[in-house]
Structure 1
Amino acid sequence: MTWWSDDVEDDEPEFDESDVRVRPSRRGSRPRTKQRPEHADAVVGMVIGVDRGRYSVLLDENGPHERVISAARASELRRKSVVTGDRVDLVGDTTGDPGTLSRIVRIGERTTLLRRSADDTDEVERVIVANADQMLIVVAAANPEPRLRLLDRYLVAAFDAGIKPLLVITKTDLADPAEFLRNFAGLELPVFLSGEGQMPLGEIAQALVGHRTVFVGHSGVGKSTLVNALVPSAGRATGHVNLVTGRGRHTSSSTVWLRFAPETETASGWVIDTPGVRSFGLGHIDRANILRAFTDLDRVAERCPRGCTHLPDAPDCAIVEAVEAGELGETGPARLESLQRLLTTFAGTTTP
């Protein structure tokens, strides 16, 4: 039997509240604040590639210390998307040495933003590229057959973004593109014709120098072939057209910025290659931007009644009346037809 007595000396140490260890909070004890650091020492770069949360950023463009570094997005930007073409501010290790990683803390103001949606009813935009100033649309004269409505959608997206469109027709040795091009007689659209053994690289190069040109086109039209011809070091994969479906195979899986510096020119530019697409939704487009691209018609539209659609069935449309009266000259009817076709495409009454 064991006896317990208060007279027995206790060898165990005594404790009080001050001896209790409190587990520190994982989030720390620093009070939360909405004030963000200014990052006055940040350096400016341009995003030229995105891969699984890591960004390739060009620093000191055309300068003596030009280099490409790897960066991650800062936590304060977690709700903001960073896309190729963005001008960004970076902190941390910006040497570009192997294994280093800097941090993107700010996104600069975008001059242009080329977007598309999954379909015409989807208002969620998918950003293709930021700060481009030209769009080179590549269309094949045959194999695959040119798609007028898809080209219209490219034009609408370019006009909405404030980007100048250019057009390259490939495979002209297989079909005459003259009839297809009549649809764009009313547009101030530079056109380059390319066929077997007659690719106008010199003319296209002059149009690209000094610009940031985003290349778009349906799969299988020869876009990657053209990119490789202009930028031999690009090494973009090329595909073929399925003889049964008439569709091309996707060969580019991401948007990539490529330095374009032809030997015949003293200046350089950028070629921005994008994945081939088979649809181009316009759910995010502002129809007013389409009209603004037709500066002569836009001025006349100021006389239109409020809410005028400028379509053929629009009552008292000043543009229609001006064209019928010959106020816009010989090109007026073609310009109006092009505008109405693009507005109809945007309205969703046609399919690509």
Structure 2
Amino acid sequence: MTTAWQPRPPSSAPGWVESTWRTSTPLPRPCRISPTCGPRSSRDGSAVNRNERLDEDDVRVRPGRSKSRPRTKDRPDHSQAQSATVVTIDRGRFTIIDASGDRHYAVKARELGRKGIVVGDLIDVVGMDNSTVVHRDGRENFARIVRRLPRKTTLRRTADDADPVERVIVANADQLAVVAASTHPQPRTGLIDRALIAAFDAGITPLLIVTKTDLAPATELMALYEPLGLPVVEVANKKVTTHVRGLFAGHRTVLIGHSGVGKSTMVNALVPDAERTTGGVNEVTGKGRHTSTSVLALPFTGHGLIIDTPGIRSFGLAHVDLDRVIHAFPDLRAASDNCPRGCSHDEEHCALNTDPDVNPARVSSLRRVLRSRAEGESRN
């Protein structure tokens, strides 16, 4: 026998709530703001009395996309902060030395934001009295860098002459030592000239150090730069003379040069406790092996610093104005005064072509830099 279809009767099971999504009067929703308008639950899931007042554990503040607001407008003035100097950086952690020469470990405070800190920066630090590497229970405790003081000098470079991104090598250095080897690897005047240009542009006093002169004489190289009026010294047999030590005493000196020229070897001779890794030269390519991977500042005589840097493969000058390049060639400046107005120093009527007192090798070096800079600007 066939029965007619009948609608399903409403369920009367306990806990059943009829759907109201088609009705015009929605179900009341519990209030999550007022403590008296409905049942609430605390963060741990336990029931909360509706007459109980809210506390900060029950309120969840969703931070903004950029930063969450501080809980108070009263910001610390850090009047008790101590001065220090950054000597090396490793994955966002800074090794610093205080006025007495003691080492501490620090991180950037949040209020510094994206302000960059490099080796040589003078900083203000809080919590330096309790900063250690690792506690006995395994907890790390770092001081906090709360201020970066204004920089006196900034040594910069770019990847090449077309790269607009500046890379800060070191801050607050007052002396730049360009290190070149007389042989093995062969000296390259291009890097020397570019480093001198960056030094003059930053207001840093340059000097030239020629190493490995016991293997080959460096007479021609030294004669090329002695007319510039900058100190030119030589280092032989991995030994540093008293004269060279005197050039570093009381100064913050940064060492720049290709890999394999002997920068780290000279640092180990100047500071015996440095223990910088050294490497040889590739017999096939004639180039040095890249051993140093980070910038390191070491205290030296007379409150000075010796700053060792990794070997540099290229030294871009995109940050240097073209009109200032000639100032790094003081031996050519007098002859360039006779050039016609607006001379690019790479033209047929340039006075550098006819002056008998200028060194043709120096003129060629200047023009290589100017051409590379001009090509970089045209690409940008």
The one of 273, 276, 285 equivalent to 2:320 is 285
Question: Which structure has the larger Rg over C-alpha atoms?
Answer: 2
Q: SS at the partner of 2:227? A: coil
1:9 aligned residue = none
Give the whole-Å Cα distance in 1 for the aligned partners of 2:106 and 2:373: 44
Of 70-79 and 175-184, more deviation after overlay is shown by: 175-184
Which runs of 5 or more structure 2 residues have no equivalent in the other structure? 1-10, 15-29, 42-57, 134-139, 376-380
The one of 157, 173, 179 equivalent to 2:220 is 179
Letter in 2 for 1:341: S
1:341 aligned residue = 365
Output aligned runs, 1:151-230, within 5 Å.
151-196=192-237, 199-230=239-270
Q: Give TM-score, length-normalised by structure 1.
A: 0.78
Residues 120-178 of structure 1, C-alpha deviations (whole Å, 9 max, x = no match) = 11111111110011111111111111111121111112112111111111122322222
**CA-atom RMSD in angstroms:** 3.6
Q: SS at the partner of 1:186? A: helix
Output aligned runs, 1:103-182, within 5 Å.
103-182=144-223
Cα 1:24–1:192, aligned 2, differ >3 Å: closer, same or farther? same
Of 40-49 and 119-128, more deviation after overlay is shown by: 40-49
Give the whole-Å Cα distance in 2 for the aligned partners of 1:208 and 1:104: 28
1:250 aligned residue = 290
Contact preservation (8 Å) 1:140, 1:170 = yes
Contact preservation (8 Å) 1:115, 1:128 = yes
Contact preservation (8 Å) 2:106, 2:131 = no
Instruction: Confirm whether residue 85 of structure 1 aligns to residue 120 of structure 2.
Output: yes
Q: SS at the partner of 1:152? A: helix
Q: SS at the partner of 1:17? A: coil
Letter in 2 for 1:68: R
Contact preservation (8 Å) 1:217, 1:277 = yes
Contact preservation (8 Å) 1:113, 1:131 = yes
Contact preservation (8 Å) 1:187, 1:338 = no
Number of matched pairs: 321
Q: Give TM-score, length-normalised by structure 2.
A: 0.73
Q: SS at the partner of 2:267? A: helix
Cα 1:96–1:2, aligned 2, differ >3 Å: closer, same or farther? closer
Instruction: Confirm whether residue 52 of structure 1 aligns to residue 91 of structure 2.
Output: yes
Letter in 1 for 2:148: I
Give the whole-Å Cα distance in 1 for the aligned partners of 2:163 and 2:282: 29
1:41 aligned residue = 80
Which runs of 5 or more structure 1 residues have no equivalent in the other structure? 5-13, 262-266, 325-329
